[in-house]
Structure 1
Amino acid sequence: MASEIAKGCNYLESIGRTHRDLSARNIIFVAKNLVVKISDGGAYRDKYRADYYNGMPIRWMSPESIIDGRFSAKSDVYSFSTTFWEILTYCKSRPHYQLSDQSLLTLIVNTSNGADDVPPLVLGRPLHCPKEIYDLMVECWQTNENQRPPFHEIGLFLQRKNLGYQKPGPDH
Structure 2
Amino acid sequence: FGLARDIYETDYYRRGGRSFLPIRWMAPESLRDGRFDTLSDVWSFGVLLWEIATFAEQPYQGYGNEEVVHYVRYGNITLERPPNCPEILHKLMHACWTFSPGDRISFRSIVDELVPYENEDFRLNAYYHTQPHLLQDQILIVTND
Instruction: Report TM bin, short chain.
Output: 0.7 to 0.9
Residues 1:48 and 1:159: Cα distance change in structure 2 (over 3 Å)? farther
Task: Give the RMSD, CA atoms, in angstroms.
Answer: 2.3
Matches within 5 A, 1:1-172: 27-28=1-2, 47-54=7-14, 55-91=20-56, 93-109=57-73, 111-112=74-75, 121-162=77-118, 164-166=119-121
Query: Would you say the 8 A contact 2:53–2:85 is kept in 1?
Result: yes
Identity of aligned residues (%): 35
Greater than 4 Å deviation, 4+ residue runs: none
Q: Which has the higher contact order (CA 8 A, sep 6+)?
A: 1
Q: CA deviation at 1:73?
A: 0.3
The amino acid across from 2:10 in the alignment is A
Q: Where does residue 36 of structure 1 map in the other structure?
A: none
Query: Would you say the 8 A contact 2:97–2:104 is kept in 1?
Result: yes
Query: Would you say the 8 A contact 1:121–1:143 is kept in 2?
Result: no
Question: Which whole-Å CA distance do the structure 2 matches of 1:84 and 1:150 have between them?
Answer: 15
TM-score, normalisation: structure 1: 0.62
Q: CA deviation at 1:79?
A: 0.1
Query: Would you say the 8 A contact 1:58–1:66 is kept in 2?
Result: yes
Question: Which whole-Å CA distance do the structure 2 matches of 1:99 and 1:83 have between them?
Answer: 18
Residue deviations 1:35-59 (CA, integer Å, cap 9, x gap): xxxxxxx9xx974322210011000
Which of the two has higher C-alpha Rg? 2
Residue deviations 1:138-169 (CA, integer Å, cap 9, x gap): 0110110111111111012112122x3525xx
Question: Which whole-Å CA distance do the structure 2 matches of 1:46 and 1:140 have between them?
Answer: 25
**Higher-helix-fraction structure:** 2
Q: CA deviation at 1:102?
A: 1.1
Contiguous gaps of at least 5 residues in structure 2: 15-19, 123-145
Secondary structure of the residue aligned to 1:106 is: helix
Query: Would you say the 8 A contact 2:12–2:21 is kept in 1?
Result: yes
The amino acid across from 1:95 in the alignment is P
